[in-house]
Amino acid sequence: MRLSCSAIALIGGFMKVAVIGCGAQGRGGHVANYNKINDIDLVAVCDVNFEQAQAVAMEFGIPYVYSDYRELLDKHNLDLVSVCTPHAFHRDQTVDAFEAGANVICEKALAVSSIEAAEMIAACKWHKKKMSMGLQNRGSAEGRILKQFIDEGGLGKIYYTRVVAGHVMDIPGYSVFHKKSLSGGGVLYSTAVHNLDLANWIIGDPTPVAAMGTIYQKVRHMKNPLISWKGTLGDFETEDFAAGYIRFENDSGLSIESNWLTHPWKVRPQIEILGDYGTAEIPLKIYVDQGNQVFDRTPKITESGNHFFEVLKDFVDAVREDRTPIVKFSQMLHVQQMMEGIYQSAETGKEVLIGK
């Protein structure tokens, strides 16, 4: 008989865990950090590249290795599953894990469409399981401090948020982020999702109602590009630049600019938030207007820590304690809808209504 989440928490037993996908995030983000959490039994890893899965298993002393995730789910009575495969496989693997009785933490982007994302959330609710996402920026002390400051009314009403994300002349060469058939999109789905999610969480997860966007593939037009990438242009299917504007139900707005080919002298704050009483940024800066003066209210931060560990530990604790993880259903879906809206607007050249 499978024990419920509350029963596991009550007896304080070991939780059986498996990781599907042994690439950079699967190995470095999930496997390595599960090994730092007490009372976790990491029983199996899986990857279509069996040799890669074997290498991870040998490195971390994991007893079972699979190339077929369905076989893994059939043979083990799992409490937690990490899904760390390309985005196109997230929906099926996550739903199958729920049906097998496991709770799931899925890598970003959650899916390749908001329809798939909604199906994953529905399956989680139907099977009465927990779900979270590998959004390590949620584990930062800066984000938590700024969210608390805003939640307590420190900036007043938030009317505008600016998000900037990407790399400095660096296209991820260790992944399939440049393959649209596997990732669904490029820099927006694969990189900017982190800062977009962090900003959305900090400002309180307002409901998005409309999106406008544009995307571009700059790498094909560069002369002798000074970039870090191991692929070839013939393989490149996605955008390396995306920009968009989101309108929220509460009449506030958010703009996002994401770029894998940012010039070094163009690096800017990752997040800027404008409110009635002041402004704030990530990396953390808080400025408050009082009278005719502006005061720096930025606190000193001594905590650094392992951001990915914090998010993974939160998920494990949420299952043990039978509570909601830090990444909530509405936040998952809203971020997916915003990104999808930007892509749809870029394709049609028009504003796209979200959730209609």
Q: In this structure, is residue 320 part of a structural domain?
A: no
Cβ burial, residue 37 (10 Å; 0-12/13-18/19+): middle
User: What's the pLDDT score for residue 336?
Assistant: 98
CA distance 118 to 333: 7
Same domain as 177, residue 28: no
Is there a domain that residue 201 lies in?
Answer: yes
Q: Is residue 3 pLDDT above 60, yes or no?
A: no
Same domain, 193 and 66: no
Which residue, of 112, 129, 146, is where some domain finishes?
A: 129
Residue 294 and residue 194 share a domain: yes
Same domain, 113 and 155: no
Q: pLDDT at residue 128 above 80?
A: yes
Range of the domain at 296: 138-308+336-353
Same domain, 164 and 257: yes
Residue 281's domain is classified under what CATH number? 3.30.360.10
Distance CA 33, CA 26 (A): 10
In a domain? residue 176: yes
In a domain, 298, yes or no: yes
DSSP state, 190? Answer: I
The number of folded domains in the chain is 2
Predicted pLDDT of residue 98:
99
Per-residue pLDDT, averaged over 204-210, amounts to 98
Over residues 68-115, the pLDDT tens digits come to 999 999 999 999 999 999 999 999 999 999 999 999 999 999 999 999
148 and 114 assigned to the same domain: no
Which of these three, 129, 160, 175, is where a domain ends?
129
Give a yes or no: residue 226 inside a domain. yes
Question: Do 143 and 279 share a structural domain?
Answer: yes
| CATH number of residue 27's parent domain | 3.40.50.720
Residues 306-314, mean pLDDT to the nearest whole number: 94
Residues 98 and 241 in one domain: no
Task: Enter the pTM of the model.
Answer: 0.93
Residue 270 lies in a domain: yes
* For residue 173, pLDDT beyond 90: no
Does any domain span residue 142?
yes
Whether residue 284 lies inside any domain: the answer is yes
Is cis: bond before 325, omega within 30 of 0? Answer: no
Do residues 146 and 99 share a domain? no
The residue out of 95, 129, 163 marking a domain boundary is 129
User: What is the pLDDT confidence band of residue 170, given thresholds at 50, 70 and 90?
Assistant: confident
Residues 237 and 229: beta-carbon distance below 8 Å: no
Q: Are residues 159 and 268 in the same domain?
A: yes
Q: Are residues 153 and 300 in the same domain?
A: yes
- Residues 117 and 161 occupy one common structural domain: no
